[in-house]
Structure 1
Amino acid sequence: MAERIVIALGGNALGNNLAEQMRAVKHTAKAIADLIEAGLEVVISHGNGPQVGMINIAMGEMHKANPETSVIPMSVCVAMSQGYIGYDLQNALREELLDRNLQKAVVTLITQVQVNPEDEAFDHPTKPIGRFMTKEEAEELTKKGYTTVEDAGRGYRRVVASPKPIRIIEMDTIDTLLNAGQVVIAAGGGGIPVVARGHHLSGAGAVIDKDFASCELAKGIGADYFIILTAVEKVFINFKTPNEKALDILSVEEAKQYITEGHFAKGSMLPKMEAAVDFADSGPHRTSIITLLEKAKEGIAGKTGTRIVGTIDPISLDILSCEKKGCGDAYTH
């Protein structure tokens, strides 16, 4: 059987506005097509931080201008972002595959993800959405009742609740499409957050972290690899200090220790590491990789990126031993 992978695309793979997105997805499609061409079964998820924020603000302004129009809840804004990001991404990927004479259907699935209405995250908003703002812009938004925070030295952003995902509602459909040989784009923006009340699903005012939702997606389809594509080639400890160090391959236990020691920023690298550890720890022979979009294929080949493995095989043990002894490039041994 072909190896299965879930690719979680970060914001750098999608741009910050519609024009940037249309350019970015063409570049993104080439990297994903490389993996499909190599024979891997691929499911794609993506973030929606800038996009869902823009949609929410636009809908709010529409209601302000015309109070007779409905207030659009956050869950519907997430659904809208899934549709328009998926539209651009699936078309770009379809075109790239056809240019390579690969006959693969690509489909975007509007995906709901169940959350717990009692999740404490609803009392403590932390998930950044929308564009980066100046301090003055953030203060104006705060006066209107929104919550804003400073985001890892990059500016200020609005934050909303970010409950943990419990279950992907359309998991069986995703698996069916994948078994039919299709490339699936699912759980975009972390999925549409819903609360189950009997058979009824109602939207929740939140945005689920896309890395945690993507982890659940990877576990659900029995993936071999969970790849988080972000703005750095490797994860660092002691980041931006004289003692910073790039991480190559880690056991789950080592990764958990680094998390406990507080090496990773909340709202930035921390959720990526937590999701990567969760997947690698969820079953034998499961590997999580965090790297750049352009390095995805090399990451799977073990040539770059930060890899977190649950089961340490002999080759991995040799790499770890070589790194600890300081004997140079472990991949050459």
Structure 2
Amino acid sequence: MRVVIALGGNALLHRGERADAATQILNAAHAAEQIARLATHHQILVVHGNGPQVGLLAEESERDPTLERGYPLDTLVAETQGMIGYWLAQGVGRHLPDVPVAALVTQVVVDAADPGFDHPEKPIGPCYPESDAERLTTERGWTFVRERHGYRRVVPSPQPERVVELPVIARLLDAGTVVIAGGGGGAPVSGDLTGIEAVVDKDAVAALLATQLEADLLAILTDVPYVYADYGTPRQRPITTASPDKLDGDSFTPGSMGPKVAAACAFSRATGRPVAIGALDELARVVDGTSGTRIQPST
């Protein structure tokens, strides 16, 4: 079975953890162990997130007094692809020394006229106190959104149109390679491969790749075991199975569960195949349908 795994950036840097390399390497090793177990039975493509990591690099770049201006987001996304892809490839390789593993720096074509550029909503980086968010809004023109633990920077997130390296990814999967690609949603570029200042949603890219590669299953991993109705309220309850049409009537948080559900519905509608959303620690059970939320068209 061909499985595309969308691995959240928070799986590598849990909420409240310091962004030290040692911490993230340890978390990546744990994720890689789960992925390696699955790769003994299935073809695997991993599309990882990078929200905490790209936000950290952006902040460091902006503060660097030796630079005239900070590095653009497309370049920083590519940088996180190399870093996180390296950690995951190392981890999978340790568990599967006889299986080839490849991490690709991936470009994703977006439309410069995408309305997402006018409405930034993709959270990146750490949470800031309100006073720091106000200061950074004034000093750097950043946009922030209030979350449960503080204020996070939000950036434009245009829809992916095409993955430049798709033919390479397909050949590697056909050859039995565990592939890590589309990290951080891919480095956003225009049609002529000019970098664009944005961060593409990794779940949307995972759904696009899963559709074009004719994956049997899209597995979206997050830090909660299910998609929840009325999340964060006294009426909160897990959704174990649902159709895309049923989920269209529910409201999910933009920049969090909302993009995951949207990506799941897009893949399921396009292919008629299932999507599983659940926790990393339950990956094998999420894939076999005994844990997490299962989304597929009504029959």
Q: TM-score range by the shorter chain?
A: over 0.9
**Secondary structure class of the residue paired with 2:162:** strand
2:256 corresponds to 1:256: no
Separation in structure 2 between the aligned mates of residue 95 and residue 270 of structure 1, nearest angstrom: 35
In the alignment, what sits opposite 2:212? 220
In the alignment, what sits opposite 2:11? 13
TM-score for the superposition, normalised by structure 2: 0.94
In the alignment, what sits opposite 1:164? 159
Give 2:265's match in structure 1, choosing from 274, 277, 280.
277
In the alignment, what sits opposite 1:142? 137
Q: After superposition, where does 1:21-100 map in structure 2 within 5 Å?
A: 21-37=24-40, 39-62=41-64, 64-67=65-68, 71-98=70-97
The amino acid of 2:104's aligned partner reads: L
Residue 294 of structure 1: how far off its partner (Å):
1.0
Q: Deviations over 1:133-167 (max 9, x none)?
A: 1112111111111111112x122111111001011
* 139-148 vs 9-18, greater mean Cα deviation: 9-18
Separation in structure 2 between the aligned mates of residue 17 and residue 221 of structure 1, nearest angstrom: 35
Flag the 1:118–1:303 CA change in 2: closer, same or farther, 3 A.
Answer: same
1:141–1:148 Cα contact (<8 Å) kept: no
Give 1:229's match in structure 2, choosing from 183, 206, 221.
221
The amino acid of 2:84's aligned partner reads: I
The amino acid of 2:172's aligned partner reads: L
In the alignment, what sits opposite 1:174? 169
The amino acid of 1:86's aligned partner reads: G
Residue 20 of structure 1: how far off its partner (Å):
1.6
Residue 267 of structure 1: how far off its partner (Å):
1.1
Q: Deviations over 1:47-81 (max 9, x none)?
A: 1111111112222222x3343xx642111111111
Q: What root-mean-square deviation, in Å, do the aligned CA atoms of Structure 1 and Structure 2 show? A: 1.3
Separation in structure 1 between the aligned mates of residue 111 and residue 286 of structure 2, nearest angstrom: 34
Separation in structure 2 between the aligned mates of residue 178 and residue 28 of structure 1, nearest angstrom: 20
Give 1:301's match in structure 2, choosing from 288, 292, 296.
288
In the alignment, what sits opposite 1:327? none
Residue 311 of structure 1: how far off its partner (Å):
5.3
**Secondary structure class of the residue paired with 1:165:** coil
TM-score for the superposition, normalised by structure 1: 0.85
The amino acid of 1:53's aligned partner reads: G
2:232 corresponds to 1:240: yes
1:283–1:310 Cα contact (<8 Å) kept: no
Q: Deviations over 1:93-152 (max 9, x none)?
A: 101223xxxx1111101100010110011111111111111112111111111111112x
**Secondary structure class of the residue paired with 1:254:** helix
Separation in structure 2 between the aligned mates of residue 301 and residue 71 of structure 1, nearest angstrom: 44
Q: Deviations over 1:262-316 (max 9, x none)?
A: 2x111111111000111111113x111110001111112221100101253xxxx
Separation in structure 2 between the aligned mates of residue 72 and residue 33 of structure 1, nearest angstrom: 34
2:276–2:289 Cα contact (<8 Å) kept: no
Higher relative contact order (CA 8 A, sep 6+): 2
In the alignment, what sits opposite 2:16? none
Q: Deviations over 1:228-275 (max 9, x none)?
A: 1001111110122232221111122112222xxx2x111111111000
The amino acid of 1:179's aligned partner reads: D
Residue-pair matches, total? 293
* Unmatched runs of 5 consecutive residues or more in structure 1: 313-333
The amino acid of 2:90's aligned partner reads: N
In the alignment, what sits opposite 1:193? 188
**Secondary structure class of the residue paired with 1:202:** coil
